[in-house]
Amino acid sequence: MPTSVVNSSIIRVLVADSNQMQNQLLTSALRRRPEFRVNFCELTHNAVLTSVAGNSIDVALLNAEKDVSVVRSLHLAHPRVRKILLIESPDRHTIASAFRAGARGLFCFSESPFRLLCRCIHCVHQGQLSVSNQQLEFVIESLTQVPSLRVVNHNGFNLLTAREEQVVALVADGLTNRDVARELGLTENTVKKYLFHIFDKVGVSSRVELVLFAVTRGAMQNAEWIPTGMQQ
């Protein structure tokens, strides 16, 4: 087979895991497959973004079950890179959050053999979704909810506008002001203004305090995205 044909079939894969041993083992296993060219890095926002930018990655395998915001950061910076979230168990919330963050596939080692991971990589590389029937049901169910937190006071009255509630939800998911701006189609300066107003309304002075407040007094709402450009 001509070299040009072989090269065109190569899939450039990035493995990112916080566990160094797991990172190296998975990388070694994938490198035994001739169609993969594999790099690996630590599971941090900076390390993942740097590795993707420097190696022209096609598919990223992210063991980010406990921090899906890494998937979202990568999706916002490199939307063409296909993301697969590696999970330990098919948790309903994690599955919904993964696809909302931009994942194209999920893989659970406790349920599937390694050869199916290779199939998963090929599937998402071809532009398809790699998802089981059960996982798809979880995703469909999540469509009845929106990443928006209804924040109330001790009497149960709304404290924020619909747009402010979306900002709180995204901040609670770990997104930076820049990422929130991209997600909602706003400027970063507008997001900062929203946060100042939110801080004043709920009586907090930092993002950490805001997240804790939202967790204790927040509730998901029915699905209804606020169209980009509407200032509420």
pLDDT tens digits for range 69-119? 889 889 989 999 999 999 887 777 778 778 878 899 999 887 888 889 999
Domain that holds residue 126: 3-141
Last residue of a domain, one of 124, 141, 158: 141
Last residue of a domain, one of 81, 115, 141: 141
Place of tokens 């907090």: 204
Contact criterion met (CB below 8 Å) for 123 and 130 = yes
Same domain, 109 and 162: no
Mean pLDDT score across all residues of the chain: 81
Same domain, 137 and 168: no
Residue 163 forms part of a structural domain: yes
Same domain, 22 and 114: yes
CATH assignment at residue 83:
3.40.50.2300
Q: What is the pTM of this model?
A: 0.62
Q: Which tokens hold the place of 150?
A: 């209804």
The Cα 218–Cα 152 span in angstroms is: 7
For residue 124, give the nearest of 90, 80, 76 by alpha carbon. 80
Sort 44 into a burial class: Cβ within 10 Å, 0-12 / 13-18 / 19+.
Answer: middle
The Cα 31–Cα 125 span in angstroms is: 17
Same domain, 136 and 162: no
